[in-house]
Every structure is written in structure tokens, then in C-alpha cells.
Chains A and B, each alone.
Chain A
Amino acid sequence: MIQIMNWLSMGIGLIPLNRQQSQSNFGLDYAMMLIMPCLYLAAYFGINLFERYGLPYLDACNSVCRLSNNLFMHLGAFLYVTITLLSLYRRKQFFVEFEAHLAEIDVYIQKCRRVAEMDKLRAQVVKHKVAYHFTWLFIFSVFVFALYYDSKHLYDTFGEYAIIPFMVSSFPYLAGSIIQGEFIYHVSVISNRFEQINSLFEKINKEARNRRAPLTIFDIESEGKKQEVKVTSGEKAAATKALFSNDPKLADEMKRQKAQLPKHDDEEELNTSEEDDDDIFDYNDAIVCENTDNTSEANLPDLFKLHDKILALSVITNGEFGPQCVPYMAACFVVTIFGIFLETKVNFMVSGKSYLLDYMTYLYVIWSLTTMIVAYIVLRLCCNTNNHSKQSAMIVHEIMQKKPAFMLSNDLFYNKMKSFTLQFLHWEGYFQFNGIGLFALDYTFIFSTVSAATSYLIVLLQFDMTSILRSEGLLT
């Protein structure tokens, strides 16, 4: 699905060809991105200067139709020109950079998953796919319907020249929606990474819960069995466990941490880091601490780093796509308001009288629906991503509250987690998905738009259209 969208956006010149390779033919990559705007501008100025092939210049078009068509056309021009300029400004660097960051993050996640032994867990992802495909299918059908409706009517009116008015009526909105689709794709990728991190955090959390019980009750046997099943570190005897008291040596712990860090990076084989530090432990001291099966808490620093990196990535993504959200949301807002206005004040009274007028009002309604769906998905995904990133902090707090065994030993983990949650507070103040700061891209935006739309509608609905309609001969 993503592939189809990418081809489409390459096809209509919104993202460069070969966007992932940094070295490729410059001219070939950007040819489409220049040709399409030129075609569009030719159509736009052709219609406006030569006054042909445009709906407003037909005899059948009355004043209401002309006004609404002009508004639709100029709004589309505003949308398309701003979006194309921003796309041209973005160029290829962003995609290359994004992929590089993502690859780096994935490597980290893979490493963490290996440490946490979560390689096999895939079922969750598959279940996710159904809703995902359904959404895609729905959106595609909506778009196909909108485009079909517009092109059919234009073909009926203009014959083979229908492509020219089509360029100025539906095309800009299509282009804007596809750019938002790109945004959706990038945000969903980010959101997915957050989910993976959260599952890793959740794993640590669960382990903390499991490990707490044997420690307090000193249930030696079950713990021993558990360890025997786990082959990762079989040399730990269950008996030594009992010997272990709750006041381990601070210096030892610190040593362990220190040794673990440099080691951690260069292990490419399937060895878990835990084995390594256990080795060091044995080397230094004979006493075995309880973290024989806490394979995943060693992930914490990596996870914190990952969280930070993903947030940095979302800042980049938002910086690229946020500005393009603003004209899109504005266009969506205006089209929706005028769609409602035309539907209630014109179409409700005089539907079926004029073919072109009906076409215009339905075009407004259709495009307001499609843009609204796309806008909603953007908002929903951004909100979800925000929530996912927030959830990590929540889980970390939960882990802190449970006081798992690895935290009792020293302050390091406590400080680490505290640092992470504090950093998240800073992030919260600093970043949220937004359109150049004008509005936050979450559900509050829907509320503010709806309230604004209501007040505009109240004012707009007071316009008295009956006299105008009567003067056009539509109303008797």
C-alpha cells in the first residue's frame, strides 16, 4: 500500500524519484517535480487568462456556481502552490536522513529485542494489519470515487479537454492529500517504533513483577527451576541465591555497570550482555546476585537513548511536514464550511434545477469529506504517537515504583530512570506534533476547528440567498 502511494506521489511529482539513494541523476529525480507544477500552472493561468475551458465561462453557469467554482479553484491553487514549494524545498535529503535514522534505530531495537529474547513475538503485528488494510482500502475507494465523480462530470461537459479543468479542480486537493499520506506514513513508522520500545519496557516491567515475588518469599526452588530452564546462565546455583542478602556491595555494582558499558557495544554474536557481566562478576567476586535472569534491564540505557532518538526523528519529520499541514487544514476547513453552506442554502432549495450547480455543490461535499478523513487520520496518528511516547514514561515510573531487585542494589538505575522521566518532561514542553506552532496536531485541534466552524456557519447561514437565487431564475 505504501508502495502504491509512493509511486503515485512520485508520479504526480511530489517526492523525488530514487528518493532513497543519495547519488543518482539529479535531473531525472526532479524532472517530475518540475513538470507537474508547470502543467498545473499552465492550466490555471490558461483558464484564468484565456477564459476558456473553465466552468465559470460556460453559459449554463450562474453566479452562485461561478463564485463557488472560483473559490474552489483559487483555494486549490493556494494549496497546491504552497505544498509544491515546500516539497521542492524539502528535496531528497530528508528521505535519506529519515531512512538513515530509522535504520540506526532499528539496529538498536533489534539488539534490545535480542537481549530481551523477544524475537519470536510477531503475532501482535499481524493482528494489526487487518484494520490497517481496511483503512487503506477505505481511503482508496473514497479517493477513487471523488476523482471518478469529478472527471466524469468534467468529461460530460468538456469532452476530451476535460483534463484542463480537472487540473484546477480536483488535482490540487489530490496532491495535498497525498502529501498528507506521506506524513501519515512517516508518523506511523515512528509510532510503530514507539510501540516496540513500549513492549520492551513492558517486558522489563513484567520481569520486575515476577522477580519480586521470589525475592521476598525466598522461594528457592521455583527460582532454581526457572534458571535451569533458561540455559543462558546455567552456572548459577539456586543455593547461592539464598545466601544473597539485600545489601550488595555498591562498588561491585558500579564496577559491573562500568564493565558492561564498553562490552555492550562490541558484542555482535548471540551472546547476551548479561552473560558477560556475569563473567566479570564471577571474576571479581564469588557471590552471585539475583539478576541471573534479568536479561532485559540491561536494555534500559539503550532504550532511553532510543526513545530520545525517535523523538528527535519525529522533530525532523514534523519540521518537514508540519508546514504542509497548515494550508491543507485551512483548505479543508474552508471547503467544509462552504460545502455545508452551499448544501443547506442552495442545494436544499434548488437541487436539480441546474446541472453545473449541483455538480459544484456535490464536489464541495465530496472533497470536504475526503480531506476531513485524511485530516482526521493525520490527527489520530499524531495523537497516538504522542500517547505512545508518553506511555513509555508511565511504564518507567511503574518500574520505579515496583522497586525491582536490580534497583535495590544501587542508585544507578534509579537515577537513570529519573533522568529519563525528567527528560521526557522536557520533551513534552518542547515538542508535540504541530503545524509550525500554530496548532497542535491532536484532538484539541478538532475541537477548536469545530467551534470555529460553528460560529462561522452561524454567521454565514444568515446570508439571504433567496433573492439571488430568484434573480437567477432558479427559485420561483
Chain B
Amino acid sequence: MKGHSLREYVGLDEVVGPIFVIRNIHNVGYNEQVEIVDADGKSRLGITLEVGRGMAVVQVLGGTSGLSLNNSRVRFREEPLKIGVSEEVLGRVFDGLGNPLDGMPKPLNEHVLDVNGLAINPTARDYPRNIIETGISSIDVMNTLVRGQKLPIFSGSGLPHDMIATQIARQARVKSEDFCVVFAAMGVKYDTARFFIKSFEESGVLDRVAIFLSLADSPSIARILTPRFALTCAEYLAFQKNMHVLVIMTDMSNYCEALRELSTIRGEIPARKGYPGYLYSDLASLYERAGMIKGVNGSITQLPILTMPNDDITHPIPDLTGYITEGQIVLERELHSRGIYPPVAGLPSLSRLMKDNIGKGLTRDDHPSLSSQLFSFYAHVKDIRALASIIGEEELAPLDHQYLKFGDEFEKRFLTQGYFERRTLEEGLDLGWDVLSLLPRDELVRIRKEDIDNHYKARTP
């Protein structure tokens, strides 16, 4: 807020959904804060979506219900949307716009920051280097998570993505003093939010978590800002307070739908499935806020969760997300219905930052080739299963039977683990070898001889 008094206007010209148009005004900047006071004296927040000579289009974050054309008062704040931040945000619960929900006063502001953030200069970025051991083998061994990475969970409704996210948050903490979680819930049900808060509580990290809730019953438009508030907080904690911040954002599909809703109301030209053409740029403006900066100890690691509409990975939301994030953990309904937890799909899951951060001197020498071999065998298992479903299992060659056996063990022993089971990377790798040893040595074409000599112990199923 600038020091001088604010200009106030009375009366609106048009209200459509969460948007209103106001005319006969001047000196209003694009993308700035607006305060709207309705006839009852209730105040709500808005931002300018479009400004022109003598007019502005404003998006109201608290919804427009109860606004009248004549009696509404509008104040232009002449600055973009901002949030006050300090370390006191940890352990607190806020609504989607940064107001406390836990009945306690607003935390002290050490800094007031623009929620839109600024792009990190690519020359100032540091390449993510340290792996985060999540204790989940399907991630650690197969799709290693790296500090500063953005790795979304592609899920579907009814799949245990929330459990996986909380399990990672619980098991990934290395040293408690510099680790914290920023949690943003967008349009999820109260139960889901409750589940997260409860599991943070149970694992004793609640005082290291800042929670931003924009639940399913709050105006959809506020959802667009929730992740921006959360990420601004995260940037402060990571880059000014040197913390390692894990940002969990759920559910990105709700965020995108809010964006589509707004775009439609504004009469914009839609691109695919009614989503606006700038969906990619908009998502990037969130996801790209993950990372590390040279000379700064902290980091932002993002774990966005999105439910793929109809389990369709080619839907614009997962599709554009996949083009921005550094890999994805895909959950598979078929594994889930067979009772396998975590149901991490073997093949479409990927961590792009893995290759530079595992192997000799980083994790274990055999890690890269072991994971590559497991991936390729598992792909082959899928082919054999397809063949078996046509010609019948009895007709398969003996080697193919061995592959099927491998596939079963891979899913039931390697992938499967308990919600509270923390498996170290070492244990995960050894288990991988154990499963691999079901297959004859000659089949292991992707692994170097030394590694095979060291780890391979042939066993007959």
C-alpha cells in the first residue's frame, strides 16, 4: 500500500459471475489489487484483469454474491497482490488468500512480497544435486526424487495419492531444523484437508508446516491465487531462510478448472477442451518456482498432485504438466485394485533429474543400470502378459514363465510396501537384485559384468 489516501469509487457497471466492470475511473494499473465493499460493509478482494481508458475489469476473489451495481464501493490499491511472510507462518493454517483460519492473529510480517513472484534467472539457478530418500523403493530406486525438483503425482480419483504424498512428507525429512512443508489445498474436500493435517500431526511435523486451504466450497476463483500465496511463502523460507521446503499442492486439476471457468466468463478463445491457450504458461509460472539458487542453501521441491480426468494421461492438464515438470509418478488403477500399495506404474513414471544424481559416488555404482534393467524387464513382462492372454500361459516358453514370475515378485515384493514402512535406498536396491535374480544371468544385458558379479545371486523360482 502506498502512503497516500486511496481513491474510492461508488457503483459498478456490469457484474458477470466473479467479474465486474467499472467505468469512469482513471489511473488504474493492470493486475493490481482492488478492495470492494458491498452494501453491508463487507469487504472483499479483487484484482484487475484488464484496464482501459476510463474502465477496468475486476475479478472478485471472494465471489460476487451480494454485490449490487449501485451501492458497492471500490478502492484501487495501486499495487499487485501481496502477502506478508515470516518464519511464523510455519505451524499455521490459512485460507486460500493468506488469512488465518486457526483463530490466531495474523503472523508478523517480516517482508511483504508480490504473490506473482519473479522468474529465477537461469544463470542464477543451481542444478539440483542431492537426492531425497523417500523410503519408498518405487521412487528411490526407480524414479529418484531430487532436491529442487518438481515431480507431480499423476493420479485418478479414488487412488491413494494423498497417502503417498504424506508418506513422502513424513519419511523425507532429513534434519528437522531446516526442513519444512508448505501445503496448498485447492478445491479439495474438507476430509482430504483433514487427512493431511492429521497425518502431519501424527508424524510430528505440524509445527513445520504452513497450510493454505481453499476448499471445495470456497469460491473457485480464489483457487487461482492459493498456490501463488503458498509458493511465495515457500520462496521466502527457502531462499531467504535457507530451508529445504517441500511444497505439496493438491489438486492441480481443480486449479486448472478454476482457470478455465474464469477464462470462459471472460469470453476468451479456448484452445483444447475449453482450457485457455495460456494454460501452459500459467502452470509454468507455478511449477517453475521450484528449484535451487547458487549460493543459497535452501531449496523448493514440488510435489503437485493431480487427478487425471477419466484416468486420461493425454488430457491437457496432465499433458501440459508433464511438459513442464521434471518427470511424473503415475499411479495405476489396475495395481491399486489388486491391492498393491503404492500403486506406482512401472513404465510411464519417470524422474528426469535422476540420471545425473545416482550411481558412482552419489548413490551406489549399480543403481543406474539396475533401475534401467528393471524397467526393461518389466516392459517385457507386460508384453508376455499380453501374449499369455491370447495364447494361454501354458503355451509360453520356459523363459517367459520365468519372466512372469519376475513380474509378480516385482509387483508384490518390490513395489509393495507399507504406509509406515521406510525402506532405505540400500535395502531397495538389494531387493531389486533379489527380484532380478529370478532371471538367468545372460538376460541382464544392461548391467556391467562387475555389478552382476557383486550382486547377482541366481535363484530358481
Partners in one complex: no
Binding site for B on A (CB under 8 A): none
